[in-house]
Structure 1
Amino acid sequence: METKGRETRGGQGGGVSARGGGRVTSHGVHRILLAANYSALFLGTLASSLLSRFYFVHGGSSRWVSTLVQSAGFPLLLPLIYFSPRPPRTAFTPRLLLLCVLIGLFLGVNNLFISWGVSYLPVSTSSLILSSQLAFNLLLSVVLVRQPLYFTNLNCVLLLTLSSILLALNHSHERPSGVTSSQYIIGVLTTLGAAVMFALYLPIAQIVYRGVTAFRTVMEMQVAMEAVATGFAMVGMAASGGFKQMKREAAVEFDLGRARYWVIIGATVASWQLCFMGTAGMVFLTSSLNSGICSTALLVVNVVGGLVVFHDEFGAQKVASMVSCVWGFASYLYGEYKRKTKADEEEELIGAANPASNAAGNGGEIV
């Protein structure tokens, strides 16, 4: 995976120097941050999908509650921000605040779409549909951040699109008990809409982060975005009677009892926070496309999680869909590996031919 350890050619990966606290950081610090964010993304992606579906399976019914928990964990970032190194100058400008408000509203709508999809679809199905975000992310990255387009990228797009089409057509016996055919289709469409919106969010975030030099600022921006998304969800809950419904669910409707209801809500809040912070961190440390690849690859783990925890059906169409997903990932990753290997070989040849120039060029490298 290409990280922001050096300037990249042709706009690939949006590469800039790995940064923290307003100055170039060491390889070690960069790798620690990268590992921490990837771990958060892995745990958050798997747990949030399973817990969100668990809420609906055991008596939860409010999509606004499901929307709220996706962003309400932002206070968990405040201690991390407090103990993080301060940048040499104020980085969180009024312009960044305005961008955070707009992106936060965008994420609030995206969270609502995810809630609609999760309420009607099996975890494995929604995860495979959400994997189509990589195709949209690639296309939007080409337009917004000038990501180069290769055959392996296009192959990935076609296979992931095929994967989603197969699932959308497979609604006759894949829908959960109590979900009508029309509701299943609504679930597919809203989940696909969430995939498109998330794919748009990633390159927009990459563009915004180009002017950010400290990881602390990324966390501050994440707090602002999620606070706005939380406000959006709370307005929706207030307008629809969601707060009263939440109390009724905890007291009566949730079949595992009041105490476990609040444990599930709390765990879901924490898991979504891990997921979104991990995503934001990966965009900042690598690129929007790399973040999208990591997120989408982990959705395949959710498919397995849905099979194990909820015993989702896994018919022939779903097998073909998952094979298409894995094939698309493999195609993309192989192409990136070959290009990175070729770029490294070219750099070695240039360095060997002109060692004096290479040494001077390393003045800004990470140490």
Structure 2
Amino acid sequence: MTLLKFSTSYPNTPSVNIQTPPKASKSEAPAAQEAPAGSPEAKNWKWWFVVAADAFFLIVGQTSATLLGRYYYSQGGNSKWLSAFVQTAGFPILFFGLFFFPSKSSSGETPIGKITMIYVVLGLIMTADDMMYSHGLMYLSVSTFSLICASQLAFNVIFSYVLNSQKLTGLIMNSVVLLTLSALLLGVNHESYGPAGVSRGKYLLGFLLTLGASGTYSLILSLMQLTFENVIKKQTFSAVLNMQIYTALVATFAALVGLFASGEWKDLKGEMDRFQSGQFSYLMTLVWTAVSWQVASIGMVGLIFEVSSLFSNVIGTFALPIVPLFGVMVFHDKMNGVKIIAMLISIWGFASYVYQQYLDVK
């Protein structure tokens, strides 16, 4: 089985060992030019296909989940704990991955107590991250929310440098500066109010919480990478799935506790009755939000396994130009001049980072 490598290069791309063969006769030359099914070229195309499929799942799942989350609030939903709950509640879907890629026992298994503690800590951090995202999505328009979320790439670079010894280059630093500038433009823009009825104070709170959520998400990815390198030391697809499943399990349970402890559960029946598009739409919005987050999770896990956690974050940021456009079409978000400039700066920063990835691969 292919091993997981946490680096910015493409570790699973098959390498070619060039050797000087004996001189072939003219009759043997045509046969030598044909690429068999198991050749490095065929494996390379297969690897790119898998990476493209994982990227598609991540982008579609993340975009759908963000739009459905905003739709929940726009139609009368108001429970932030429920919104946090559905972000991880669909984790049982990932058990299908364990069914097809079962884990193999080895003599160097991580002590159960130690790995359980890691899952609990990461799961609780994930719960805090989900709550910050829920507040941000409630107080911000979906276009502003997605643009601020692009800052997670800059946070990821910082945490990867501190915790994972990530190499910093001029292009990467350029990306960090541009993405930070884009977020600052939205923060000081007096015209970037949130949805109708959201005050300036709540807009600023949503901005800060979304920024905090982006940084926390990047911290989670770096901590996961650090755990694999120094604790689990078993970089297989099943190990990555286990990490995703059990941290999501803890986060889901913590969100459920918060839902009941806060008393928000008492208003869920009334919230469903007041939902503008109907009770069935209310249930379907929650169900498909949970499914969408897990589709994105499958893509994220696949990219972590095939490439790296940092590259997975890069692809997640690729949805940046997509979500604001849907926000304008579906929710009639206003795209003023500052938002357009922030989007262009963010795309420029993203392109700088992608070009650095291209140079690393080359």
TM range, normalised to the smaller chain? Answer: 0.7 to 0.9
2:212 maps to which residue?
193
Length-normalised TM-score, structure 2: 0.84
1:321 maps to which residue?
342
Are 1:228 and 2:250 matched, yes or no?
Answer: yes
Matching residue's letter, 1:221: M
Identify if the C-alpha distance between structure 1 residues 78 and 12 changes in structure 2 by more than 3 Å, giving closer, same or farther.
Answer: closer
Are 1:74 and 2:91 matched, yes or no?
Answer: yes
Separation in structure 1 between the aligned mates of residue 76 and residue 205 of structure 2, nearest angstrom: 20
Matching residue's letter, 2:354: L
Separation in structure 2 between the aligned mates of residue 143 and residue 233 of structure 1, nearest angstrom: 30
- 3-state SS of the aligned residue for 1:299? coil
1:124 maps to which residue?
143
Separation in structure 1 between the aligned mates of residue 191 and residue 128 of structure 2, nearest angstrom: 28
1:36-77 alpha-carbon deviations (Å, 9 max, x no partner) = 432221111110100000000001001011000001001112
Q: Which runs of 5+ in 2 are unaligned?
A: 15-42
1:230-283 alpha-carbon deviations (Å, 9 max, x no partner) = 011011100112222222211x22111111110111000101112233223322
Q: CA deviation at 1:28?
A: 7.0
Correspondence 1:217-296 to 2 at 5 A? 217-250=239-272, 252-296=273-317
- 3-state SS of the aligned residue for 2:335? coil
2:37 maps to which residue?
none
Q: CA deviation at 1:14?
A: 7.3
Matching residue's letter, 1:150: T
Separation in structure 1 between the aligned mates of residue 170 and residue 353 of structure 2, nearest angstrom: 9
Q: Is the 8 A contact 1:126 1:191 kept in 2?
A: yes
- 3-state SS of the aligned residue for 2:319? helix
Q: Is the 8 A contact 1:206 1:284 kept in 2?
A: no
Query: Larger Cα Rg: Structure 1 or Structure 2?
Result: 2
1:22 maps to which residue?
none
1:310 maps to which residue?
331
RMSD: 2.4
Q: Which stretch shows the higher mean deviation, 70-79 or 44-53?
A: 70-79
Separation in structure 2 between the aligned mates of residue 83 and residue 136 of structure 1, nearest angstrom: 34
2:32 maps to which residue?
none
1:364 maps to which residue?
none
Matching residue's letter, 1:303: P
Correspondence 1:1-367 to 2 at 5 A? 12-13=7-8, 30-31=47-48, 33-89=50-106, 93-94=111-112, 95-210=114-229, 211-250=233-272, 252-341=273-362
1:146-200 alpha-carbon deviations (Å, 9 max, x no partner) = 1111111111111101100111112445321100000000000000000110111
Identify if the C-alpha distance between structure 1 residues 47 and 168 changes in structure 2 by more than 3 Å, giving closer, same or farther.
Answer: same
Q: Is the 8 A contact 2:148 2:186 kept in 1?
A: yes
Matching residue's letter, 1:323: L
Q: Which runs of 5+ in 1 are unaligned?
A: 20-25, 342-367
Q: CA deviation at 1:87?
A: 2.1
Matching residue's letter, 1:234: L
Identify if the C-alpha distance between structure 1 residues 29 and 338 changes in structure 2 by more than 3 Å, giving closer, same or farther.
Answer: closer
Identify if the C-alpha distance between structure 1 residues 28 and 228 changes in structure 2 by more than 3 Å, giving closer, same or farther.
Answer: farther
Q: CA deviation at 1:88?
A: 4.8
Q: CA deviation at 1:16?
A: 5.4
Q: Is the 8 A contact 2:187 2:204 kept in 1?
A: yes
Matching residue's letter, 2:250: V
Separation in structure 1 between the aligned mates of residue 46 and residue 128 of structure 2, nearest angstrom: 35
- 3-state SS of the aligned residue for 1:256? coil
Length-normalised TM-score, structure 1: 0.83
> How many residue pairs were aligned?
328
Identity of aligned residues (%): 36
Greater helix proportion: 1
1:66-99 alpha-carbon deviations (Å, 9 max, x no partner) = 0000010011122332232442538675133321
Separation in structure 2 between the aligned mates of residue 28 and residue 89 of structure 1, nearest angstrom: 32
Separation in structure 2 between the aligned mates of residue 234 and residue 324 of structure 1, nearest angstrom: 39
Separation in structure 1 between the aligned mates of residue 102 and residue 156 of structure 2, nearest angstrom: 32
Separation in structure 2 between the aligned mates of residue 241 and residue 129 of structure 1, nearest angstrom: 30
